[in-house]
Amino acid sequence: MNYIKKAGVMVMGVLMTAIMAGCGTVETGFSHDGRIPVVASFEATKEITEAIGGNKVEVLTVIPEGTEPHEFELKTGDIQKLQEARLFVYNGLGMEPWADQAIQAADNSKLKTVNLSRHITPIPLVDPEERKEHGAYDPHVWMGLSEAKAEALAVKNELQSVSPENREYFEHNYRQFAAETDALKKEYQQKFSHAPRKELVTGHAAFAYLCRDFGLTQVSVEDAFASGEPSAKRLVELADFCKAHHVKVVFTEELVSPAVSQTLAESAGASTESIDTLESSDDKSSYVERMRRNLEKILKAMQ
Ligand SMILES: [Zn+2]
């Protein structure tokens, strides 16, 4: 009896030590190397934050790689990053319905937050199915170059208040980002004005801002399986649309049913090409590089 009791106390002791050690070394992924710890909600907000923060910030995302942001649900472990961060950058417009809850739960008095979509004018959604999923406005604001620039300005202002000593550095990065996004938009507005085709067929409707800027119309394959199952009737309609408009390329996305896009392309006699909605990660390229790559691919498809 005595022995068992003693063993029990020892087990408790080990457990307590483990729990306390755990408290001191919570695994959040921040490397604590002197850079400012920043949390971005997902890939697109991370790219914009990194464009301004450069090597002065370490940006981790809440939504893990390979998860479609629209389908993410917050878990307790995700709060830990916010407890260590100085800034939380998120998109808003329904992309992160968990954001307010996460900020509250983190209970971090040093944490500043910025809802990027408050700094732009959003495009209203008209499709009832889209409104049901996303709310009144299209959340894919980062796909607009001018919107990204306005959001970068908001990130710059927040970073300057978190770290006044790096004021000039953030200012310089912002000016460069603004110049690059302006130039990219101007260059491709010129190029698209001569393109014979205007219909952009893609996985999900993430391109309203981009299409508005370049005089294009988006048609999304996701419409075909809004209720979970691809509708054969809708796929036939999409294929007919593609044929009628001589669509040469159906764009596919990593996280949105590439198989359906493939099927559509085959029945429409089109080819497929990947496109980047900045909802999945690409560590090797910057925001501007990724958008330039997208625009070049789309331009080619419109010839
Ligand atoms: Zn999306």
For residue 26, being part of any structural domain is answered with no
Nearest Cα neighbor of 94 from 24, 27, 42 is 42
User: From the CA of 277, how far away is ligand 1's center (Å)?
Assistant: 7
Q: How many domains does the chain have?
A: 2
User: From the CA of 206, how far away is ligand 1's center (Å)?
Assistant: 5
Q: What is the pLDDT of residue 28?
A: 61
User: From the CA of 254, how far away is ligand 1's center (Å)?
Assistant: 12
User: From the CA of 235, how far away is ligand 1's center (Å)?
Assistant: 20
Surrounding residues of ion ligand 1, Cβ less than 5 A: 206
User: From the CA of 95, how far away is ligand 1's center (Å)?
Assistant: 8
User: From the CA of 174, how far away is ligand 1's center (Å)?
Assistant: 25
For residue 28, being part of any structural domain is answered with no
**Residues making up the chain, counted from first to last:** 303
For residue 8, being part of any structural domain is answered with no
**Tens digits of pLDDT across the chain (303 residues):** 334 344 444 444 333 433 343 444 445 689 999 999 999 999 999 999 999 999 999 999 999 887 888 888 888 878 999 999 999 999 999 999 999 999 999 999 999 999 999 999 999 998 787 788 778 999 999 999 999 999 999 999 999 999 999 999 999 999 999 999 999 999 999 999 999 999 999 988 899 999 999 999 999 887 665 555 567 888 888 899 999 999 999 999 877 778 888 889 999 999 999 999 999 888 789 999 999 999 999 999 999
Q: Report ipTM for this prediction.
A: 0.94
Last residue of a domain, one of 185, 203, 227: 185
For residue 118, being part of any structural domain is answered with yes
Query: Domain with 249 in it: what CATH number?
Result: 3.40.50.1980
User: From the CA of 170, how far away is ligand 1's center (Å)?
Assistant: 28
Last residue of a domain, one of 135, 162, 185: 185
Confirm if 211 and 218 have CB atoms less than 8 A apart: yes
* 88: amino acid identity, one letter: F
Q: In what order do the strands lie in the sheet with 57-61?
A: 57-61, 36-40, 87-90, 112-115
